Chains A and B, each alone.
Chain A
Amino acid sequence: MKKYILKRVLISIATLLVIILILFILMDLMPGTPFNDEKLTEVQLALLYQKYGLDKPLLVRFFLYLKNMITGDLGVSYAINKNFPISEMIKGRLGISLMVGAMAMIFGTILGLILGIVAALNHNTWIDNLCSVISVIGVSVPSYVCALLLCYYVAFKLQLLPILYNQTAPFKSLILPALALSVSPTANVARFTRSEMIDVLNSDYISLVQSKGIKNYKVIIKHALRNTMIPIITVTGPLLVNLLTGSSVIERIFGIPGIGLLMISGIQQNDYNVTIACSFIYSVMYIAVMLVVDILYGIIDPRIRVSKEG
């Protein structure tokens, strides 16, 4: 297992290097400059390029970036928060995005599991149909629609929760954004749970357990649910990365200073260092979550072995 993880980590580092290089090339191909002001003169543009080292060739910039990166220096922002170190900008924002994402994931998984199990247990009844309808709606309705509805009814009309993110009450003010974000994972988890659960409940070993007279809830939680988890973990992995890296739309609506909005503005304004750093974090998280998912397989179902030695 250790050897397997080490191998995966090494491959990941190589992948990340390639990702950064590709990002550099893509960034170079993007039209425009980070200095998008109709008022800038030629002289000024030249000065700005020189100041930020953008007049150097692509490969020189790439290796300089890597060199600085090892020391934790991710460069400075050219446009969004001019001259701010990127590491500072991301430090503050990443935590909030992680928190909303994690909350959304927890809401989504719990709600999804409940919906899925309820549907499976009431297979082919109106309850099942209702759960399916909810799942379909959840998959098809964009999160910002839910966000605005939640804002309007829960926060504005009923005044149960704050409308906007509030630094002094982060958890309370992040419930609505997390709920809005959790709609799609809820639906996805519910759909997978339902179909897997129905399969599992019809299998021989469940019939065996039931015939031994074990209580129904024990059958479901201990035997059926555990076997249902494998495909669910496969879907939640990428979902989790999506949630953790923030949603620019949700962040915008609730006024959350998160990393999703930062990355979008970075791309829009050609703030190269911001875009690279955000994409880099996204990639690291994706690779890490995939690794964790692979390891989790083995824990949940010991029959699955990720490597021969494991």
Chain B
Amino acid sequence: MKKVLTILLPLLLTVGCGGSAATSNANGASESGTANAPAATTGDAKTVVTVQAPTPVISMDTAIATDGTSFIAQTMCISGLMELDENGLPVEDLAESYTVSDDGLVYTFKIRDNANWSNGEPVTANDFVYAWQRVVNPDTASDYNWIFETANVLNGGCYDPESGLEPEDLGVVAIDDKTLEVTLVAPSGFFLGLLAFPTFFPVNQKFAEEKGDQFALSVDNILACGPYKLISWDPGYSFEFELNEGYWDASNYAAKYAPKVVFREITDTQTALMEYQSGNLDTVTLSGEQVDANRDAEGFQNRLAGYLFYLSLNANNNVHNRAGAADLANLNVRKAISYAIDRETLAASLNDGSIAAGGIIPVALAGNPNTGADFRDDAGTITSYDVDKAKEFYQKAVEELGHEVTLELLYGTDEGDSIIKAAEQIQFFLEEVGFTINLNGKPKKERLDLAGNANEHDYDFMLTRWGPDYADPQTYMDLFVSTNTSNNDGGYNSAEYDALVFDAESGAGISDSSVRWKDFIDAEVQLVETDAAIVPVFQAGGAMIISPKISSPEFHSAGVDSYRHIVIK
């Protein structure tokens, strides 16, 4: 007891010095910590890599998961036909080889003979057919049930009960045990990349049906066919993987990569950093305020995430007759907003590696099919900051409207500190040119409800984001076509834009990839520059420290980050 008292008493007294003592101490942790990082090593050779998972695994079912952490965990222990290499390009995984028909519509995959599930059964073509049909089956209610349609798979629309199609109609057939044939309605440049996405992974039918409701809910109810297997999963605490000796490439993995990878769920950034500095973690994500103190730490890196944050302007869905939304129908108002925002300053102030958005397509998302050049390089920066121009547009708008413009900015309060910071900055920049901006912070669930169909778009403009589902501009372009009633909250309706996107995806672009590329570049200009229908703001970044003792996980701006190839140095 005396011991406890000796610890507690001085502590209580320290706190007594005032609230600020606490914050300076807490910050002190990150400042002084860099000196002794990373400490504590065991005498034996390192065999376990422990990484921080800032968010939990929500589901290990490949048809159900929608979040990054779940996908990372699934990619550890389950494989698809393809996987992404360190450059984000698809390479064969469970597929030994594949052939594509001359018209680019029929893919035939040969599955490896030594591709097996962890219960010893072979991975068959039927496992893919079953898994894919399971995703589109309305009973599964998968959030990603539309993805086959996007991938141009024949009858991909069968997820909609009103389409008149059945899951069995999906264009995927098992020719024999080890041969899978997929039929597309139009060639797709990103189809192979999507095969590395967990929604396209196989499921062992017999096993899944045997487990029923319990499938994928615990270690015993998951089968592995990937390089690692799940050996423990404790929601809220950790999930752990060990090399899977039944994997087709097991000997290569055993020679090269970490024998055991432990993901520890830690939400709090302060204790996570202390844990890293104590040598108990090999990776840690940093919050914006931790970045400056740790910029010089060995292994510090800023990574660019695929998420692009933009302002959705409710110019055409003003069901509620909002005064602000009505003003947004004026092109000069929208242009004033776009020119008023100093994206560079805003992104830099977030201090987490975020960068200014040059358009709606993020950097490092997709490459030109012919030259490999990044979309942003080909399309250039089509957003710009110019206060004088912004003021000019604003004055023109005021003259046309006959009154000053007051808008309400809707944003999420539980989606990270950087969103709140960004919203405040947007308010500042817009008020500089004459707008009056009221901030309307809401939890994400309420934000989506207000802006979406549930409340008939009850908002003026909103700071929102979109994370790419696959490495192609289409993942963004589809959002703003007039027929998209789920994501096009502002009701953008432009014949020119629709025609360009249609031409790219269903017209001349089908047979000519450079026409498709050009169409997307033009469509983006129409959307962002000509019509200022949406205002791209920043592309999210993330700061991390990765222990020098391991090789970095592979981060992909589209697709799933890979922790499969971590080498212990």
Residues of A within 8 A of B (CB): 31-33, 35-44, 47-48, 50-52, 79-85, 88-89, 92-93, 107, 110-111, 114, 133-134, 137-138, 141, 145-146, 148-156, 159, 163-165, 167, 179, 183, 252-255, 257-258, 261-262, 268-270
Q: With A and B bound together, what is the CA distance between A273 and B172 in angstroms?
A: 37
B277 touches A156 (CB 8 A): yes
Contact indicator A155/B445 (Cβ below 8 Å): no
> Known: A84-B217, A84-B235, A93-B236. Is A133-B16 also a contact (CB below 8 A)?
yes
Tell me if B373 counts as interface (CB < 8 A to partner A). Answer: no
A156 B29 Cβ-Cβ under 8 A: yes
Q: A79–B57 Cα gap in the complex (Å)?
A: 11
Contacts A35-B143, A82-B61, A83-B64 known; 5 new A-B pairs at CB < 8 A? A92-B234, A141-B15, A159-B278, A164-B271, A255-B268
Query: Which residues of chain A are within 8 angstroms of B255 by Cβ–Cβ distance?
Result: none
Residues of B with C-beta under 8 A to A83: 59, 61, 64, 213, 217
10 interchain residue pairs of minimum CB distance: A32-B445, A257-B236, A41-B486, A51-B141, A82-B59, A31-B446, A145-B22, A257-B237, A47-B141, A36-B445
CA distance A146 to B14 in the complex (A): 10
- 20 A-B pairs within 8 Å (CB atoms) are namely A31-B445, A31-B450, A32-B443, A37-B66, A38-B464, A38-B487, A39-B143, A43-B160, A47-B145, A81-B56, A81-B235, A111-B8, A114-B1, A141-B15, A148-B26, A148-B270, A149-B14, A159-B278, A255-B271, A257-B236
Q: Determine chain B's interface SS by DSSP, over half rule.
A: mixed
Cβ of B25 within 8 Å of any chain A Cβ, yes or no, is yes
Determine which of A48, A146, A159, A252 lies in contact with B15 in the assembled complex, contact meaning CB atoms within 8 Å: A146
In the complex, whether B58 has a CB less than 8 A from a CB of chain A is yes
Is the Cβ of A149 less than 8 Å from the Cβ of B11? Answer: yes
Let me know if B275 is at the binding interface, CB within 8 A: yes
Instruction: List, in ascending order, chain B residues with CB within 8 A of A133's CB.
Output: 16
CA A111 – CA B351 in complex, angstroms? 43
Contacts of B234 in A (CB 8 A): 92, 167, 257
Q: Does any Cβ of A come within 8 Å of B280's Cβ?
A: yes
Considering only CB atoms and an 8 Å cut-off, how many residues of chain B contact the other chain?
Answer: 73
Task: Report the minimum CB–CB distance from A277 to chain B (whole Å).
Answer: 15
With a CB–CB cut-off of 8 A, which chain A residues contact B26?
A: 148, 152
Does B453 make an interface contact (CB < 8 A)? Answer: yes
Question: Are A156 and B268 in contact, with the CB atoms below 8 A?
Answer: no
Mark each residue of chain B from 268 to 299: 1 if its CB lies under 8 Å from any CB of chain A, else 0: 10110011011010000000000000000000
Distance A258 CA – B28 CA, assembled complex (angstroms): 28
CA–CA, A137 to B11, complex, Å?
Answer: 11
Shortest A184–chain B CB gap in Å is: 12
Q: CB-defined interface of B229-255 with A at 8 Å, one 1/0 digit per residue?
A: 000001111100000000000000000
Question: Is the pair A268, B443 in contact by a Cβ cutoff of 8 Å?
Answer: yes
Instruction: Check B264 for interface membership: any CB of A closer than 8 A.
Output: yes
Render B403-425 as a binary contact track against A, CB cut-off 8 A, 1 for contact: 00000000000100000000000
